[in-house]
Amino acid sequence: MLIRNQLNSTNIVIAIDGTSASGKSTNARLVAQALDFIYVNTGAMYRTLAWHGLQKNIDVHDPKAVATLCRRWKTTLECVEQTVRLLVDGYYPEKEIRTDAVSEAVPHVAAVAQVRRWMKEKQRECLRFGNLVMEGRDIGTNVFPETDFKFYLDASLAERAKRRAAEGVQENLAARDRRDSQRASAPLMIALGAVVIDNSNLTPEQTSAMILERVRAKLKPA
Ligand code: DC
């Protein structure tokens, strides 16, 4: 259950993966708050690199250009108010990474193998901040496959589209899921041993309560 990595950390990681708009962010935040763990949004990390590429006028459809951009990237990880952020030249582009241009560019950036290796290293480095709730697409399968705490969230396409529309975002979720699931490098899939939760008809409070119940049961001394 405890993870020992190259940093010799014994911190715990709760991996929350799933499809777009399946409630990963909301639930990961609720779980992190309830347990006083640190919240890591790995999608925001990929978005930050995509934004950086657009700023530099890189062709995000060119994997070689994206790999070079990533290799040369000078970034720092910081933990503020129990949330990990990836900084670009000391700046956290919180609003900028949510634009349509970044949403369009990010799946291409996230499909580059060198980028995924780089991200995995950075994401594992987050253990130095403490116990983590980390959300993404490949946390249970690729970033922390050794963790005992794996969850996979999903909801019907109609429900997920409704949630995105309520946020004011019109997005082709089916196309995005397809791209995330079909890429060669660390595709979105259900990790071995993951607890799958379809929350189409559940509130975030109900979903996070299910996650917390499982986590607490495993943490309880036998
Ligand atoms: O969760 P999100 O929509 O902010 O993620 C942005 C993109 O990054 C999305 O196309 C999936 C990708 N991503 C990924 O490939 N692996 C992760 N661990 C997190 C996100």
Question: What would the pLDDT profile of 43-97 be if each residue is shown by its tens digit?
Answer: 999 999 999 999 999 999 999 999 999 999 989 999 999 999 999 989 999 999 9
* Closest ligand 1 atom, residue 119 Cα: 18
- DSSP SS3 for 83: strand
Give residue 149's identity as a one-letter amino acid code: F
- Indicate if the pLDDT at residue 219 is higher than 70: yes
- Indicate if the pLDDT at residue 5 is higher than 50: no
Whether pTM > 0.85 for this model: the answer is yes
Residue 92: domain span: 3-219
Confidence of residue 174 (pLDDT cuts 50, 70, 90): confident
106 lines ligand 1 (CB under 6 A): yes
**DSSP codes joined into one string, 168-181:** T----HHHHHHHHH
43 lines ligand 1 (CB under 6 A): yes
Q: Check residue 6 and give its pLDDT.
A: 42
* Closest ligand 1 atom, residue 183 Cα: 15
Q: Check residue 169 and give its pLDDT.
A: 78
46 lines ligand 1 (CB under 6 A): yes
- Indicate if the pLDDT at residue 133 is higher than 70: yes
Backbone phi, then psi, for 70, in 5-degree steps? -65, -45
105 Cα–ligand 1 center, Å? 11
Cα gap 36→54, rounded to integer Å:
35
Tally of structural domains, the chain: 1
Which protein residue's CA is at the shortest distance from atom 1 of ligand 1?
Answer: 43
The CATH code of the domain that includes 191 is 3.40.50.300
* Closest ligand 1 atom, residue 176 Cα: 10
CA separation, residue 92 to residues 14, 84, 148 (Å): 24, 11, 31
Comparison of pLDDT for 9 and 177, the residue scoring more: 177
Cα gap 110→42, rounded to integer Å:
11
Average pLDDT over residues 170-178: 83
